[in-house]
Chains A and B, each alone.
Chain A
Amino acid sequence: MSAVGAPLLDVDDLVVRYPVPRGLIGLLRRRPQLAVHAVEGVTLVVEAGELVALVGESGCGKTTTAQAVLRLVDPLSGSIRFQGDDITQLGMRALRPLRRRMQIVYQDPYESLDPRLRVQATVEEPLLIHRMGGSKGERASLVSDALARAGLSPPELFLDRFPHQLSGGQRQRVAIAAALVLDPQLLVADEPVSMLDVSVRAGVLRLLEELKASGLGILMITHDLSTAARFADRIAVMYLGRIVEEGPAGEVVRNPQHPYTKALLSVVPRRDPRMRRRPQILRGETPDAVRIPSGCRFHPRCPIAIDVCTTEDPSLRRTDSTQSPHHRAACLLA
């Protein structure tokens, strides 16, 4: 039974590591087993009716975090609670009924949809897998409802189409409909609009906004801060497996505390040519997640790092200059 008042999704100190293959020679020479530290202590909450954006560059661990939340990869430590229930250690069989309550929409609707299946079959498939929806007629009406909810109306117009007969925006709506047909409580959206043309992105994002308003909790993974700022309630910025800043979207964007967030925001191109600013470009690239720097993991690229940053690993905490009690940053100098 779910605990009353528990958050929809409550991730605590999550750690996910992928072993690096040593090869036979490495094994014989007893080289130490290395691991990619994909997620290193992520704590995150998503409430029902809330859209949380997980923002960061490739390799920062945002997608691994989402996969662990859905139990598609196994965490090394930490806990994942869904509606109050600890699902961190659940086996395959016990996970099954949960899967329908947490669904994912992938980035590329050109790849995530089976090209040989008509829209009707694509959206019906999850019902068949979960043995839901009752009779054929009942399933058909659930499929139509899901399509309508995803903004494909009238549904009859789309049921018999193949993916290649749909535009990119319509394909992504079909993928969303296939997630909605199971009536989930949590939707993970992994870069849901980055493959779409600008003119249709807003439509898909507004759809997520409507779903949120109807009570769905949404974890959106994105590299696009402008989109996160406009559509998310809260933003969590990840760097090398850690959340380095988290807070209400407007707060994070207008009053960033962590030097990484500040740098990221400064390089986001603006629509208005008069807003050309001097971007604060970080040199080099994100270090390899196999060898995490000592102390603050951002210190080798940080423009304001001091000696203590090389030894002390800052935790996520409130800072003096934040307005919201929920705005936190992991920086010794913030």
Chain B
Amino acid sequence: MTALLQVEDLHVWFDLQDGGELHAVQGVSVGVERGERLGLVGESGCGKTTTVLALMGLLPPSASASGRVLLEGTDVLAGGEASMRPHRWSDVAIVFQGAMNALNPVRTIGSQIVEAIELHGEAGGKAARAQTGELLESVGIPAARASRFPHELSGGMRQRAAIAMALSCHPKVLIADEPTTALDVMVQAQILELLDSLCRDFGLALILVTHDLPVVAQLCDHGAVMYAGEIVERGLVDTLYHAPRHPYTRLLFAATPDLGHETEEIVSIPGAPPRLDQPLVGCPFRPRCDSAFEPCATSRPLLRRVADRHAAACHLNDRPSQAPG
């Protein structure tokens, strides 16, 4: 059976003003199946947002991409805009962090959703308005509020409206880029609950892009940890927390304060990620790693299978006695 969405060996470069190139995404391979939730985790600049923009075909003109983005077996990246266009929003949709920026401030949320439905030929006129009402209800906004402007809604309600708009063409995959970052914890919980029920009720596949490991731990089945433009570890979220095979994954969890572990030492990871406008030699995490050894300085570890449904890019896994974690 072909995968619902499969990204293979994705690379993205940005042209820099000084003539150089920034290699933002360096060979990312990742996929989701129907109803599956994947958390794409990493810190700022790791390439997680660029990865999802590339697979939506929404990169700016200064960027170039290579690799394959397979939607039910069809490569939508190869043919550029012409091959992506029929699938964007109708098969893969995205919700961004600042819902205020995704919504037009001078138009009601209802009219914006109606327009999305009509543009994609889903329905027209009365039928489109009826569908809009249903969509709003499905994300927890009373249909009567379709006539509200974005500024009349709270942050949480705006994020719900943005989710409704993303769902207007019945996508199979929903990408949510930091959907709760600007929201309060209680509103965050409401939005996470909504995403959870959308996946459950409609078999929607979810790619959650975030810097927040606990959010992934609570909502996703699988996680992919990104560092310096590549996925350094991928597996079930339970495995990532309880049996990580990359030091960065282990340290990220250890850097995250957790209720119930109030007396535990919280680690900070010294140093900063490498610059991506220069070629990387050896393991990109080596300068910050607490368990680097000889090969890490010279050879770049590849993402390899370490167990069933579990892959990591760390030389320590070649020495079974010293497996990290």
Contact = CB atoms under 8 A, between A and B. Distances in A.
Interface string B257-301: 111111010111100100000000000000010000000000000
A201 B255 contact: yes
A246 B63 CA distance: 52
Interface in A253-311: 253, 263-265, 267-276, 279, 281-282, 285
B238 interface: yes
B277 to A, nearest CB: 16
B59 interface: no
Contact of A229 (B43, B186, B257, B288): B257
B252 interface: yes
Given A201-B255, A253-B259, A269-B218, A230 B185 contact: no
Contacts of A206: 266, 268
Contact of B214 (A201, A269, A281): A269
B241 A272 contact: yes
B74 interface: no
B234 to A, nearest CB: 15
A231 B259 CA distance: 11
Contacts of A275: 217, 260
Contact of B185 (A201, A250, A264): A264
A251 to B, nearest CB: 11
B48 interface: no
B218 A57 contact: no
A231 B266 CA distance: 10
Interface stretch (B17-25, B49-57, B115-123, B187-195): B187-195
Contacts of A279: 189, 193
A35 interface: no
Contacts of B190: 281
Contacts of B257: 202, 224, 226-227, 229-231
A100 interface: no
A199 B252 contact: yes
B211 interface: yes
B100 interface: no
B237 interface: yes
A273 B253 CA distance: 12
Given A167-B272, A229-B259, A230-B262, A271 B217 contact: yes
B211 A197 contact: yes
A203 interface: yes
A200 B268 contact: yes
A127 interface: no
Interface size class of B (residues with CB under 8 A): 35 or more
A99 B260 CA distance: 38
Contacts of B267: 202
Scoring B156, B185, B241, B255 by chain A CB atoms within 10 A of each residue's CB, the highest score goes to: B185
B313 to A, nearest CB: 18
B186 A271 contact: no
A189 interface: no
B186 A282 contact: yes
A198 interface: yes
A38 interface: no
Contacts of B251: 199
Given A269-B218, A279-B193, A199 B259 contact: no
Contacts of A229: 257, 259, 262
A310 B143 CA distance: 30
A73 B282 CA distance: 54
Nearest to B44: A197
Interface string B239-256: 001100000000111011
Contacts of A197: 43-44, 211
A226 B44 CA distance: 21
B189 to A, nearest CB: 4
B78 interface: no
A123 interface: no
B154 interface: yes
The 3 A-B pairs at the shortest CB distance, nearest first, are namely A269-B214, A267-B189, A203-B268
Interface of B: 43-44, 154, 156, 184-190, 192-193, 211-215, 217-218, 237-238, 241-242, 251-253, 255-262, 264, 266-269, 272, 288
11 contacts: A57-B186, A168-B44, A206-B266, A223-B184, A249-B262, A253-B262, A267-B186, A269-B215, A271-B258, A279-B189, A279-B193
Given A203-B268, A264-B186, A273-B241, 13 more contacts: A57-B187, A197-B211, A223-B184, A224-B257, A225-B185, A226-B257, A230-B264, A269-B192, A272-B217, A272-B241, A275-B217, A276-B218, A285-B154
